[in-house]
Amino acid sequence: MFIRKAELSDAAHLSALSEQLDYTVTPEDMAARLGKIFNEADHAVFVMETENSVAGWVHIHGRHLLESPAFAEIGGLVVDSAHRRKGIGEKLMRQCEQWAREKGYAAVRLRSSDQRKEAHEFYKRIGYDNVKAQQVFHLKL
């Protein structure tokens, strides 16, 4: 297994992995999203490749806000259920941390839904602190 940057040809694998966390996205929509992200210098998507598949993916991007110093944020992390608890998630996160350092960011943040208790324990175990609770509001346009 090894980590590499995602490619458009990975769209079906990334789509299927997203389904495991109840994020429904078609392979076509995933390819379109990847295409946009690949054109952004302040975004990266990494995958953990196995012999015949993709065992996980992570998306990281820069965040620039008026009220706080810039930071890197994890947009999403998914590890195939058949490959969990094998260190893949941590390796993907460490790749993102390296990316963030290379881009000059001093911190990496992420958001995790309240019901994903196992994910919270994973992030704590690899050194992340829970520093904030918040509500997310959404308006469909």
The most distant pair of C-alpha atoms in the chain lies apart, rounded to whole Å, by: 45
pLDDT category, 136, cuts 50, 70, 90? confident
What is the per-residue pLDDT across 31-70, written as a single tens digit (0 to 9) for each?
999 999 999 999 999 999 988 889 999 999 999 999 999 9
The amino acid occupying position 59 is H
Superfamily of domain 2-125: Gcn5-related N-acetyltransferase (GNAT) (3.40.630.30)
DSSP letters of 108-121?
EEE---TT-HHHHH
**Whether 109 contacts 72, CB under 8 Å:** yes
Residue whose pair of structure tokens reads 């994973």 in the numeric block: 122
* Domain residue limits, the chain: 2-125
Q: What is the CA radius of gyration of the chain?
A: 15
**Whether 75 contacts 59, CB under 8 Å:** yes
Q: Is the pTM of this model over 0.85?
A: yes
Q: What are the distances in angstroms from CA 61 to CA 16, 42, 67, 82, 84?
A: 22, 6, 18, 27, 24
The amino acid occupying position 137 is F
Neighbouring-strand partners of residue 109: 73
Give the model's pLDDT for residue 100: 98
